[in-house]
């Protein structure tokens, strides 16, 4: 059994054929799915899917791009839902910052405040975090080291920064996705073997970051198999063993 630990099945691009998407995934052994619902405007869509399909779980939180819309009171009922397995995706993303130095500082400050609040909340609820990090490794690491609880979480989009690997000792896992299959993924391919096996998770981030050989198409959870294939080559173990390891890790982290 394979678990896609990060797929945006609440995206409108699956409205027409969600049932076929799930069936195709299951035919390849991908049997459970976690939607990191991080946009307050569409959170209810993820909840609806988790109520409609037993095999779908979700996380509730606010993505750094939506930091200005963060509101704990609004999120509360979602976080208490029986199918909510984590807080996220939350984190820091400095990829698209404003131009003026003052605006940059303001944006970073807001993202940090919202990130820290979600970390503290997760700790209170004893839930793991789904963390999105882009071009913000240093600040993210500092914040996680200072505030994260024992539940830890998963780091995704982490730019393959080796500086983040030490977070494994704080119970942070590393979500490996389609980028590992890209020809220009040298950095990730180099850091991948340094991640402890017991801290590896597999994800698609569907509909984004479609793995080779499907680049350019809409991504789907079934393509976790391409990621696992590449992981198994780099780890020098069978795909079946790789699937077993990552599934055990996901079950442990998300208590599935
Ligand atoms: Zn993300
Ligand atoms: Zn995502």
CA of 67 to the centre of ligand 2 (A): 15
Mean pLDDT, to the nearest integer, of 24-35? 98
- The CATH number for 128's domain is 3.20.20.140
| H or E stretch covering 215 | none
pTM over the 0.85 mark = yes
* 161 Cβ contact list (under 8 Å, min separation 6): 133, 137, 191
Confidence band (pLDDT; 50, 70, 90) for 47? very high
Confidence band (pLDDT; 50, 70, 90) for 40? confident
CA of 8 to the centre of ligand 2 (A): 6
CA of 236 to the centre of ligand 1 (A): 28
* 148 Cβ contact list (under 8 Å, min separation 6): 119, 122, 123, 129, 170, 172
> What pLDDT shows up at residue 10?
97
Residue 181 has pLDDT above 80, yes or no: yes
Residue 45 has pLDDT above 80, yes or no: yes
101-131 pLDDT tens trace = 999 999 999 999 999 999 999 999 999 999 9
CA of 139 to the centre of ligand 1 (A): 16
CA of 256 to the centre of ligand 1 (A): 21
Confidence band (pLDDT; 50, 70, 90) for 69? very high
CA of 205 to the centre of ligand 2 (A): 5
From the CB of residue 100, how many other CB atoms can be counted at a distance below 10 Å? 9
13-28 pLDDT tens trace = 999 999 999 999 999 9
Which domain range does residue 78 map to?
Answer: 2-254
* 34 Cβ contact list (under 8 Å, min separation 6): 3, 4, 5, 6, 7, 56, 57, 58, 59, 85, 86, 130, 254
Report which bound ligand comes closest to the CA of 131.
1
Mean pLDDT, to the nearest integer, of 162-175? 96
Contact 191, 238 (CB under 8 A): no
CA of 156 to the centre of ligand 1 (A): 6
How many structural domains does the chain have? Answer: 1
């Amino acid at each position: 059994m394979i678990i896609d630990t990060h797929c945006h099945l609440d995206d409108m691009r699956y409205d027409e054929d969600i049932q076929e998407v799930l069936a195709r995934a299951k035919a390849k052994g991908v049997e459970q799915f976690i939607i990191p619902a991080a946009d307050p405007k569409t959170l209810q869509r993820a909840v609806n899917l988790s109520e409609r399909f037993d095999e779908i779980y979700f996380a509730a939180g606010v993505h750094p791009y939506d930091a200005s819309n963060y509101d704990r009171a609004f999120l509360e009922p979602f976080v208490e839902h029986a199918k909510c397995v984590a807080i996220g995706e939350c984190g820091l993303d400095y990829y698209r910052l404003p131009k003026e130095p003052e605006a940059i500082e303001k944006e970073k400050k807001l993202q940090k405040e919202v990130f820290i609040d979600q970390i503290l909340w997760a700790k209170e609820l004893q839930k793991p975090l789904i963390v999105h990090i882009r071009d913000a490794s240093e600040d993210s690491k500092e914040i996680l080291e200072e505030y994260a609880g024992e539940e830890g979480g998963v780091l995704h989009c982490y730019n393959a920064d080796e500086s983040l690997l030490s977070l494994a000792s704080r119970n942070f896992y590393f979500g490996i996705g389609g980028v590992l299959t890209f020809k220009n993924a040298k950095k990730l391919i180099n850091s991948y073997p340094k991640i402890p096996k017991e801290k590896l998770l597999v994800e698609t981030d569907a509909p984004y970051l479609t793995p080779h050989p499907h680049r350019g198409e809409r991504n789907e959870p079934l393509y976790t198999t391409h990621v696992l294939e590449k992981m198994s080559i780099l780890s020098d173990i069978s795909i079946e063993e790789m699937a077993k390891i990552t599934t055990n890790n996901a079950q442990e982290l998300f208590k599935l």
